[in-house]
Structure 1
Amino acid sequence: MRPRPARYTGVAQALHWITAGLLFFLLPFVWVAENFPPGEVRTFWYLLHESLGISVLLLVLVRITWRFRHPAPADPDPPALRALARINHWGLYAVLIIMPVTGYLMAGNGQPVPFFGLFSLPGLPKNDPLGVLANTIHVTTQFAVYGLVLLHLAGTVWHVGVRRDGLLDRMLPPQDGAR
């Protein structure tokens, strides 16, 4: 029996799973919004998407700060796979910052951006060329999100189904008294 890999901290685990959960809802909300004609229903779904996007940005910034203060546990993979995992993780962090920032540049182009109806982030001065550029980056970067998330999931499936090395346990609370 192999030794269990060291775990991420409970805070890192919680931040990971909350971010994953928000992404699970965030992406479909905009797809739903796009299928409604302009009006209150469409606006509701867009505002929900934007509020979740802002939440993801804040969580990712907290995650990065936490990560620098609490490094990831040692990864038992060979160096090439470790490098691929690091590139994927930092790529995810990057796109999960780029997406909300460009979303804000689009939504806040001349108007405030509501956050779950609690308050509004200030809008920016109207700048159509910046809005078009932000839209282009936002729409293009979504494919990087899909690819990086799929690669992350593929790595997880590989560790669980092929290697059976317990690496997923690093991101889960202890089970059956295991520490």
Structure 2
Amino acid sequence: MPVATRDIAGRTHAGRWSGRYDGLAIAFHWLTALLVVSLFAFAQIWGFLPRGPARHLLQGLHVSLGCLLVAIVIARILWRVFGSVRLSHPGMVGKLAQAGHGVLYLLLLAMIVTGPLKRWAAGQALNVFWLFSIPSPLPAEPVLRAPVGFIHFWAAWAVIVIAGLHAATALFHHYALKDGVLRRMIPLR
């Protein structure tokens, strides 16, 4: 059943799944996805590598891309709150979509807080693309490294699982329901 929705700029979108996200929201979405998958893959791969240059390189890239993810997530949240087109979903589907997005945002925030904390607890700086370092604002607390690492590890797995469900749902909408949901987030028309 068609439902008219209104975005924060006051534009009306008629139809159940009409409208498109703006270019910046689409860019933030796909950059976040690319960074999350890359960060997860690097962490999984270095677990199989012996200590040495390759493992150190992947860990350095993980830290650097993690810092980039922090910036993207903060910009994404600010854009979502202050500038992005909001497309609503009617009924229970909309509530489930909002809940899923909310959980993803909370898990991303947990990861971007615990990642640096884990490193700082060990007394290590964040080296960003080998260009500059962000020293720890806190004294080293090695005893905190394990519990913070535990949260970081499981938040990462939860993000991967929920993002996988998110992608599967989008594909179900696109191929089974043929309702245009996926087209709203595709960069090219």
- Cα displacement (A) at 1:169: 1.6
Give distance in 2, aligned partners of 1:135 and 1:74: 36
Asked if 2 retains the 8 angstrom alpha-carbon contact of 1:88 and 1:151, the reply is no
Unaligned runs of 5+ in 2: 3-14
Superposed CA deviations along residues 113-134 of structure 1, whole A, max 9, x for unmatched, are: 1011111111232102221221
- What does 1:141-160 correspond to in 2, within 5 Å? 141-160=155-174
Aligned to 1:114: 127
Q: Which has the higher contact order (CA 8 A, sep 6+)?
A: 1
Change (3 A) 1:104 1:46: same
Superposed CA deviations along residues 13-70 of structure 1, whole A, max 9, x for unmatched, are: 1111111111221111111111112222211111111111121121111111000113
Aligned with 1:38: secondary structure? coil
Give distance in 2, aligned partners of 1:118 and 1:173: 31
Equivalent of 1:129 in 127, 143, 149: 143
Equivalent of 1:38 in 44, 51, 55: 51
Aligned to 1:13: 26
Pair 1:171 & 2:170 matched:
no
Unaligned runs of 5+ in 1: none
Identity %: 35
Pair 1:101 & 2:113 matched:
yes
TM-score of the superposed pair, with normalisation by structure 2: 0.84
Asked if 1 retains the 8 angstrom alpha-carbon contact of 2:117 and 2:148, the reply is yes
Give distance in 1, aligned partners of 2:38 and 2:161: 17
Aligned to 1:86: 98
Asked if 2 retains the 8 angstrom alpha-carbon contact of 1:92 and 1:149, the reply is yes
Give distance in 1, aligned partners of 2:48 and 2:42: 10
One-letter amino acid of the counterpart of residue 105, structure 2: Y
